[in-house]
Structure 1
Amino acid sequence: MTTTILLAGATGDLGGRIARELLRHETDDVRLRVLTRPGSAVATTLSGDDDRVEVTRASYADLTALTEAVRGVDVVVSAVSGVRPVIVDAQRALLEATVAAGVPRFMPSDYSADYRSIPPGSNRNFELRREFAAAVDAAPIRATSVLNGMFTDLLTGDAPMVLFDRKRVLFWSSADQVLDFTTKDDVAHVVARVALDPEAPRVVEVAGDRVTAREVARTMSELTGQEFRPQWAGTTGTLSAMAAVMRRAAKSGDETFPAWQGMQYFVNMFSGDAQLRHVDGSRYAPERWTTVRDVLATRVG
């Protein structure tokens, strides 16, 4: 049985990984339709000469064209990234077109920690996802959101939690707060498996690893042979206040991940507000989850 999947956001980092993961499942007879904006040639370049891939172009502002672009697929998977014009406005148009075309399933671009219980005003990006989730829940369509905590990859990149040179691991409020992590590749694997499951539930929670800041420090000590210590950086309340000040001082509100947004992520993680509560590590799991230790080892090796 052929499954036709429309993927929005395939030219992005996570979207590209999802596309590659979908095309790995040759036995599932997958057909991938990549949605791109008119005038863009990037998606065509990415698809190469794979005859299972079709590139379709439509503007999110053109409901008629967007509806025709999604017509006939089995599921629409969104992996778009941005702030309100993308996460709320563009996805709302994509959802409307999906319903109008009679497509049975929709997967919004969540791929984050649990935004459903965070306090109002504590995280802009999470609240945009929560706002759009309300539109999804009100639509006459079967939907699935994938929640995966923080991308583990960020521990060796943009998330300044592990201070490699100073041999410290930052934490706020508690060094024993459980934190959820999943690599981008593992998330892509889960998304592909969920897209191919017509019986997938409304929310799928996964975590490649669940560790505390204290455990991360212990892991770094073991990997390097040098003592890494947890470093208290203040309370989550103080960090939240700092993020609010930086946000007000920011010149532009259009950045997807400014420094203050990263601070808001840590507030929600270390407060426990965004912790995953119903993790299912088996139903859509890869053969082996990539752990925090695995990722950190690539940085110190």
Structure 2
Amino acid sequence: MSSSPIQKVALAGASGLLGTPMLHALLDAGFTVTVLTRHSSTATFPSSVAKVVHVNYEKLEDLTQALQGQDALVSTLTTFSISTQELLIDAAIAAGVKRFLPSEFGSDVSIPALRAMPMYKDKIEIDEYLRSRCAEQGVHMTWTAVYCSCFLDWGIDNKFYLNLQEKKCTLYDGGDFPTATSPTDWVGEAVVGVLRHADETANREVRVSGIDISQREILSIAQEVTGGAEGWTVTEASAQSTYDKSMEVFEKNPSNVWGWVMGMLVQGIFGKGFTRDFGGKTDNELLGLRRVKKEQVREYLERAVRTGKASKTF
């Protein structure tokens, strides 16, 4: 890859859960950002965005034209849309984009046992397609897959770690071991780090963690911000048995996504031999990332109690 710095960045999915904080992180870091958005979208974006391009994600020519002159493309689109992601990859190569960051954000899908889970099937297909295309002769685009484990704010809002409103918590496998978790706005900083260290992050997986914290520690902070442990119902469960039950639901009715996806995520994040804390090895230092402090975890929980939503508002 050329050592020329990345400056012009296209962002696909800039109005979503991860896309919104990602956009602000890129803008705050001084990148020249072009937003790709669907023709049907009514989303608005900051005036500091260089250009907003309405595209048809099903047309290669449309995407290729939109990506002309871009140094990098960051995708925060849903990973359930394989055809859209593959077209984005093809368009980026055709347009001469130097770096592609797919919607890898989340669990470490390089773990063989995790790759076998149905919920990661689409993500893995996109991952393999991207790597094979970048390896083709004459293709000069590189890739970086960012693994950040569970989004902290999403995990609070969607009752993954605990249920603040009903004061309920299920501790998996005891809940005493540290797991990596990253707020969505912090993940944006990680992507900035990748783009600023383009040579060091080319054609490789990058593992980052905002904070390594146990589920029991999150529960303790949640109890503090809700007035104490009184009134809380705390139970324990096995990550493996939770996964087994989710597989039963999946096999009976794959379309009932919310009936099985959480159980698989539980195993992927908390299960022994799965993501957990990446074995204590991350690329935080390489990317110059600040660590999230426990006091900031408290702030996300307090915001969720106060407003009903842990995620920051931009």
TM, length-normalised to structure 2:
0.80
- CA gap of 1:284–1:230, structure 2 versus 1, over 3 A, is farther
User: How far apart, CA to CA, are the structure 2 residues paired with 1:281 and 1:32?
Assistant: 24
Structure 2 residue 292 is the aligned partner of structure 1 residue 289: yes
Match of 2:54 among 12, 33, 57: 57
Aligned partner of 1:76 in structure 2 is: 73
Aligned partner of 1:270 in structure 2 is: 270
Q: Percent identity?
A: 23
Aligned partner of 1:32 in structure 2 is: 33
Structure 2 residue 16 is the aligned partner of structure 1 residue 12: yes
Aligned partner of 2:111 in structure 1 is: 117
RMSD: 2.8
Aligned partner of 1:211 in structure 2 is: 213
Aligned residues: 288
Aligned partner of 2:121 in structure 1 is: 127
The answer as to whether partners of 2:152 and 2:181 remain within 8 angstroms in 1 is yes
Aligned partner of 1:152 in structure 2 is: 152
User: How far apart, CA to CA, are the structure 1 residues paired with 2:291 and 2:239?
Assistant: 33
The answer as to whether partners of 2:6 and 2:195 remain within 8 angstroms in 1 is no
- CA gap of 1:57–1:172, structure 2 versus 1, over 3 A, is same
- CA gap of 1:60–1:69, structure 2 versus 1, over 3 A, is same
Partner secondary structure for residue 222 of structure 2: helix
Query: Is there any run of 5+ residues in structure 1 with no aligned partner, and where?
Result: none
Tell which deviates more after alignment, 98-107 or 190-199.
190-199
User: How far apart, CA to CA, are the structure 1 residues paired with 2:269 and 2:6?
Assistant: 40
- CA gap of 1:246–1:147, structure 2 versus 1, over 3 A, is same
Structure 2 residue 303 is the aligned partner of structure 1 residue 298: yes
User: How far apart, CA to CA, are the structure 2 residues paired with 1:133 and 1:160?
Assistant: 26
Give the letter aligned to residue 80 of structure 1. Answer: L
User: How far apart, CA to CA, are the structure 1 residues paired with 2:251 and 2:266?
Assistant: 18
Structure 2 residue 251 is the aligned partner of structure 1 residue 252: no
After TM superposition, the structure 1 = structure 2 runs for residues 185-200 of structure 1, keeping only pairs within 5 Å, are 185-200=185-200
Q: Offset at 1:296? A: 2.5
Deviations for 1:90-143, whole angstroms, at most 9, x for unmatched residues?
111111111122211110111102121152675333332222211222122211
Aligned partner of 2:239 in structure 1 is: 236
User: How far apart, CA to CA, are the structure 1 residues paired with 2:254 and 2:208?
Assistant: 36
User: How far apart, CA to CA, are the structure 1 residues paired with 2:94 and 2:224?
Assistant: 55
Partner secondary structure for residue 13 of structure 1: coil
- CA gap of 1:227–1:118, structure 2 versus 1, over 3 A, is farther
Q: Offset at 1:190? A: 1.5
Q: Offset at 1:203? A: 1.9
The answer as to whether partners of 1:2 and 1:31 remain within 8 angstroms in 2 is no
Q: Offset at 1:286? A: 5.0
Structure 2 residue 25 is the aligned partner of structure 1 residue 21: yes
User: How far apart, CA to CA, are the structure 1 residues paired with 2:156 and 2:189?
Assistant: 21
TM, length-normalised to structure 1:
0.83
